[in-house]
Homo-oligomer: A and B are copies of this chain.
Amino acid sequence: MEGRGPSSCARWRRRKEARPAEILTAALASFAERGFAATRLEDVAARAGVTKGTLYLYFRSKEELFKAVVRQSLVPSIARGEAIVAQSDEPSIALIERLLLEWAKLGTTPLSAIPKLILTEAGNFPELARFYHQEVVQRSMALFQAVLRRGVERGEFRPLDGELVTRCLVAPLLLAMLWRHSFEAHAKGTLDISALCRTHIDLLKHGLTRGRPKNAATATEESEVSHEPAR
């Protein structure tokens, strides 16, 4: 039923293999803009340059399409984060900084739309919510908690509640992603996620680091952030 004929002519094949990804990209964009229910498959199809019917060659239903969009989205990023942590030997605050900056890069890609999507549809897709909670939320939280624990053990950080501090760690970036896909259109400028990230890290440094006895002398080497325009 396959492979028999000359059906493997290069162009068609390439097309067929590219289609799912094209559709997923289009779907992510549409879902991000309007949410699951308000997205019409006709729009997704148009955006992907095909017709409605074609979608059903690759995905059994709107719901399946949605799940596919979410499933294959952020998991790889999490894995990359885990790899970074596993290899790193730098100071814990630097590691956190790297993780956040790495993550901030996603903030300008289409993937940044996923959190908003999940947030919205968790109620309508409990199964998907569970999947995402397990494979993305918990794993990424575990990642940060591991670093925090390491920092405490090494004496870099004060004793702290890993879970709550993790939430404080990720909140600004996460919120920035949500912002980009909701209010940014109505705000004046563009949110500079990277700047936000640096500001956040600066706040963290002076809060997290044991750095109690910062005497004036050593202070300068740490305040590298833009906060202090004039010094």
| Inter-chain contacts of A174 with B (CB < 8 A) | 171, 175
Give the secondary structure class of A's interface.
helix
Is A13 engaged at the interface, CB distance under 8 Å to the other chain?
no
Is A156 engaged at the interface, CB distance under 8 Å to the other chain?
yes
**CB atoms of A187 and B133 under 8 A apart:** yes
| Inter-chain contacts of A176 with B (CB < 8 A) | 167
CB distance from A69 to the nearest CB of B (A): 16
Contacting B at CB under 8 A, from A94-152, are: 96, 116, 118-124, 126, 129-130, 133, 137, 151
What is the copy number of this chain in the assembly? Answer: 4
Known: A119-B120, A185-B126. A219 touches B212 (CB 8 A): yes
Contacting B at CB under 8 A, from A184-205, are: 185-187, 191, 195-196, 199-200, 202-205
Residue of chain B at shortest CB distance from A199: B164
